[in-house]
Amino acid sequence: MIRNSSGLLKQNSSSLELIQRMLDVGVIFIAMIMAVAFRHIELSADYMLVAILSVFVFEVLSAIRGVYRSWRMETLLAEISSVVGVWAITVLILLMVGFASKTSAEFSRVTISTWALLVLVGLAGLRVLYRALLRGLRSEGLNTRNVAFAGYGKAAKKMSHHITTQPWMGLKVLGVFDDRSLARLGTQELPLMGDLKEMVAKARAGEIDLVYIALPMHAEKRIVQLIDELADTTASVFVVPDIFVFELFHAKWSTVGEMPVVSVFDSPFYGINGGVKRIEDIVFGSLILLMILPVMLVIALGIKFTSPGSVLFKQRRYGLKGEIVEVWKFRSMTVSDNGDKVVQATKGDARITPFGAFLRRTSLDELPQFFNVLQGRMSIVGPRPHAVAHNEEYRKLLHGYMLRHQVKPGITGWAQVNGWRGETDTLDKMKGRLDCDLFYVRNWSLWLDVKIIFMTVFKGFVGKNVY
The closest of 289, 297, 427, 298 to 371, measured between CA atoms, is 289
pLDDT value at residue 73: 62
Tell me which of 245, 263, 281 is where a domain ends: 263
Q: What is the pLDDT of residue 260?
A: 65
CA distances from 437 to 319, 342, 413, 441, 444 (A): 14, 22, 7, 6, 10
If asked whether residues 223 and 333 sit together in one domain, one would say no
Residue-by-residue pLDDT tens, the chain, 467 positions: 333 444 433 444 556 677 888 999 999 999 999 999 888 888 888 889 999 999 999 988 888 878 887 776 677 888 888 898 899 999 988 888 888 777 877 788 889 999 999 999 999 999 888 887 777 666 665 667 888 998 887 778 888 887 777 766 678 888 889 888 766 666 567 788 888 999 999 988 888 888 888 888 788 888 889 988 888 887 888 888 765 444 554 556 666 666 666 666 677 887 678 888 998 899 889 999 999 999 999 999 999 888 888 888 888 888 887 788 889 998 888 765 555 555 555 555 667 888 888 888 888 888 999 999 999 999 999 999 887 877 888 888 888 888 888 889 999 999 988 887 766 668 888 888 999 998 998 888 888 898 898 888 876 555 555 44
Per the domain annotation, does 425 fall within a domain?
A: yes
Indicate the SS3 state at residue 172: strand
Same domain for 321 and 435, yes or no, is yes
Q: Which residues pair with 381 in a beta bridge?
A: 412
Q: Which of 123, 139, 155 is the last residue of a domain?
A: 139
Residues 332, 281 share a domain: yes
Q: Are residue 67 and residue 94 in the same domain, yes or no?
A: yes
**How many other CB atoms sit within 10 Å of the CB of residue 36?**
19
Query: Does residue 251 sit in the same domain as residue 283?
Result: no
Residue 160 within a domain: yes
Q: What does the pLDDT read at residue 216?
A: 80
Cβ(436)–Cβ(414) below 8 Å: yes
User: Which among 89, 120, 139 is the end of a domain?
Assistant: 139
| Domain presence at residue 38 | yes
CB distance 35 to 114 below 8 Å: yes
> How much helix, strand and coil, in percent to the nearest 5, is found in the chain?
55, 10, 35
Question: 122 and 223, same structural domain?
Answer: no
Give the structural domain span for 131: 10-139
Cβ contact 183:156 at 8 Å: no
Same domain, 120 and 163: no
- Examine the domain organization and report whether 324 and 374 are in the same domain: yes
Same domain, yes or no: 96 and 202: no
pLDDT of residue 261: 66
Q: Tell me, yes or no, whether 1 lies in a domain.
A: no
Report whether 388 contacts 316 (CB < 8 A). Answer: yes
Query: Does residue 295 sit in the same domain as residue 363?
Result: yes
Judged by phi (left if over 0) then psi (alpha if -120 to 50, else beta), residue 328 lies in: beta
- For residue 166, the domain's CATH number is 3.40.50.20
Q: Is residue 350 part of a domain?
A: yes
**Domain assignment present for 3:** no
Report how many domains make up the chain: 3
Q: Is residue 66 part of a domain?
A: yes
Is there a single domain that holds both residue 296 and residue 153? no
- Residue 31, SS3? helix
Kindly state whether residue 2 falls inside one of the protein's structural domains. Answer: no
Answer whether 223's CB lies under 8 Å from 211's CB: no
pLDDT at residue 97, as a whole number: 84
- Give the predicted TM-score (pTM) of the model: 0.54
Domain match, 159 and 121 both: no
pLDDT in the model for residue 146? 86
